[in-house]
Amino acid sequence: MEPRRQEETLRHFKRRVYGTLRNMATTSTPRREVRITQIQRGIEWEKVWNNLHSIPTSEGARSACYTVIHDLLPTNTRLHRIRLVETEDCTLCGKKDTTVHRLTECGEGEEIWEWTRIRLAAIHRTARRRIPPGWILGPIFRFCPRQRHLATLWILANLVYYLVHNRRTTSLEDYIELLRRARWKNYQGKKRWERVSNYLEIL
C-alpha cells in the first residue's frame, strides 16, 4: 500500500506545481482575444468551442474543424487579403474562393455537400434547405437528444476533414467509404450508445 500512496502523492504534487505555474503565466500576461472572435462579434463563440471539443471523432477531423472555424484555410480570398496571391478567384472554377465555396460549392464538393445535407435532414426530420453551410463554419446549434447532436457534429467534422485534405481528388464514392470506415471505428467503442446511438446508420 505504501508505494501506491507515494505515487498518488507525487501525482498530486505535480498537479499542484503545474497549477501554480499556469496561474503565474496567465496572471502576468493579459488574456488575448482570439482573432476570429474579433472579426465576427455576433456569434456565440462559447457554444462553438463547446461543440468543437465534444465531437466524438479523430484528432485529425477535429483539427480540420479548428482550421475552418478559425478561418485559417488557405483560400485565395484569405491569401489575397494578406497579399500572397494576386486574385481572390478559385483556381479550379474561377469563382470567389471563400471557405464556403471551397467546401460546399466547388467541383465534387457541391455533390458531397448535397449528399450530406440529405442525410442530416433525414436525421433531423426536416427539409434539406434547413441545413445551412454555416453549420460547418461555426456550429452554434444544440440538439436533443444529445446522441443526435453528437452524430450531427461527427458527420460535419468528417465532411470537413475529407474536403480539406482531398481538395483535388474528391469523389462522392471515396467520401462515403471514409464515412463508413470512420463509423465502424466509432461503433467499436464501448460508449457508442451514449455518444451517437444508431443515428449514423443513415450513412
pLDDT the model gives residue 191? 82
Confidence label for 174 from pLDDT (cuts 50, 70 and 90) = very high
The answer to whether 144 and 75 have CB atoms below 8 angstroms apart is no
The answer to whether 52 and 75 have CB atoms below 8 angstroms apart is no
pLDDT the model gives residue 4? 53
Domain count across the chain: 2
pTM of the model: 0.82
pLDDT the model gives residue 39? 78
Tell me how far the alpha carbon of residue 100 is from its chain's centroid.
Answer: 14
**Three-class SS of 49-81:** HHHHHHCCCCHHHHHHHHHHHCCCCCCHHHHHH
- Do 22 and 45 lie in one domain? The reply is no
- Do 14 and 45 lie in one domain? The reply is no
- Do 110 and 179 lie in one domain? The reply is yes
- Do 45 and 20 lie in one domain? The reply is no
pLDDT the model gives residue 195? 87
Retrieve residue 109's grid coordinates.
464538393
pLDDT in tens, 59-94: 999 999 999 999 899 999 989 988 899 999 998 888
What is d(CA 123, CA 145) in angstroms, rounded to the nearest whole number? 11
Confidence label for 21 from pLDDT (cuts 50, 70 and 90) = confident
The answer to whether 56 and 195 have CB atoms below 8 angstroms apart is yes
Q: Average pLDDT of the chain?
A: 88
Residue 93 CB contacts under 8 Å (≥ 6 apart), including other chains: 106, 107
- Do 149 and 162 lie in one domain? The reply is yes
Residue 12 structural domain? 1-31
What is d(CA 135, CA 121) in angstroms, rounded to the nearest whole number? 13
- Do 98 and 155 lie in one domain? The reply is yes
Residue 31 CB contacts under 8 Å (≥ 6 apart), including other chains: none
Residues 159-174, mean pLDDT to the nearest whole number: 91
Beta strands in 9-128 (DSSP E): none
Predicted confidence (pLDDT) at residue 141 exceeds the cutoff of 80:
yes
Dmax over Cα atoms in the chain, in whole Å? 70
pLDDT the model gives residue 37? 81
